[in-house]
Amino acid sequence: MIAACDLNLIYKNLLPRGTVPQEKIKKLNEAEIYASSFTVSIALNCPTEQLGLGEEMIHLFKEDVARELQNSGDPEKSALTILTPSITDKSLAPDGCGTLVIFMPAYMHQHNNWQTGSDLERSSDYIDLKKQVAEKLIKRVEQAIAPGLSNHIVFYDAATPITHWRYTGNQFGTMMGTKPGRKNMQTKVAGYVTPVKNLFIGGHWAELGGGVPIASKAGMNAALLVLKQHHKKAFDELVDYFEDKKTALEINQQNIFKPYSNDWKRRKTAAEKYFQKT
C-alpha cells in the first residue's frame, strides 16, 4: 500500500496506537513545514491578456517591507504569487473570458483560526474575514499590475488555510509538507518506509521540498520500492528506463508490462460542460 496523504494523519489516526514510536511522531510534529495559503480564484468577463498579463508566474512584493514579513500572511505586506491558468489552457474559461489566481502565504492559527475558534467551526465571521482579505489582495494586484481588474470580475472564490486543511487533511493546511533544511534532514522526518510492513509513503511527505516535481518523484520511487519486493524484473527494467539505459520501446518489448491501449480522452472542463448545455 502506498499512502499519499498527510503523514501525521496516517501515524496518529489511521494506524493503531503504538504502531509508530512516539519519538517519531514528536519529530514530525516539531518539523519545519511550508506555510498554507490564502487563495483567491477569479473568473473574468474578459480574456486575462486584456489586463496586460501573460502566461508567466508573477511574484508581487513590496520593497519597503522587511523580508520576514513577506511570508507573514498579512494581506497588506505579504508577497503574492499570481497565476493565469486560462492563458495556458483555454478550455478553463469560455470564449472571451479568463481566469486569475492569487496566492498569499498564510497560517492556520491566524485570526483566531480564521474566526473558526478552537472547534474550527465556520460561521458568518469566517465568511466576512475571507471577503475582507480577498478584496485586499485583489486591490493590491489591481493597483500594481492589472488596472481595472475589479471591473472585470464575474465572481471569485476564496480559500483559507482552513479550506486547504479540510480538503487535503494536510497538517495546518500546509501546501507542500516538510521544508528542506538542516533540522528536518537531521531528524529524518521524510522517508518512504514506515514501521508497518508493506506500507510506503508517496506524495510530498516522502521527500523534503514539496511541490509537483517532488510529489511525482515520490510516487515513482514508492512504486519502485513495491516492485523491488514483488516484481524484481519489472523493477530492474524501470530502473534502466529512469537511468536512460533503455527506451520505453525496448522495455515494452520485454512483455513484462501490460500494453496500454492509448485510449485516454480528456474530460470536458466545468466551463465546457456548462456552455454545452446552454
- For 160-193, what is each residue's pLDDT tens digit? 999 999 998 899 999 999 999 999 999 999 999 9
Contact 201, 216 (CB under 8 A): no
98: left (phi > 0), else alpha (psi -120 to 50), else beta?
A: beta
In this prediction, residues 247-271 reach a mean pLDDT of 84
Sequence letter at residue 45: N
184 by Cβ neighbours in 10 Å (0-12 / 13-18 / 19+) ranks as: buried
| Predicted pLDDT at 278 | 65
Give me the helix-helix angle, 211-230 and 232-242, nearest 10°. Answer: 150
pLDDT higher than threshold 80 for residue 19:
yes
**Mean pLDDT over each residue of the chain, to the nearest integer:** 92
Q: How confident is the model at residue 148 (pLDDT cuts 50, 70, 90)?
A: very high
pLDDT higher than threshold 80 for residue 251:
yes
Contact 59, 81 (CB under 8 A): yes
Please give the Cα distance from 116 to 128 (Å, whole number). 12
| Predicted pLDDT at 274 | 76
**Backbone angles phi and psi of 147, in degrees to 5:** -55, 135
Please give the Cα distance from 39 to 80 (Å, whole number). 10
Residue carrying the nine cell digits 496566492: 103
Nearest CA to 184 out of 18, 34, 14, 21 is that of 34
| Predicted pLDDT at 174 | 93
Domain 36-171, CATH? 3.30.519
pLDDT in tens, 77-94: 999 999 999 999 988 898
Number of CB atoms found within 10 A of residue 163's CB: 20
Contact 219, 226 (CB under 8 A): no
The pTM (predicted TM-score) of the whole model is 0.84
pLDDT in tens, 108-123: 999 999 999 999 999 9
DSSP letter for 14, please. I
3-state secondary structure of 104: strand
pLDDT in tens, 137-146: 999 999 999 9
What residues does each domain of the chain span? 2-31+177-230, 36-171
In this prediction, residues 221-239 reach a mean pLDDT of 93
Please give the Cα distance from 104 to 134 (Å, whole number). 10
| Predicted pLDDT at 179 | 93
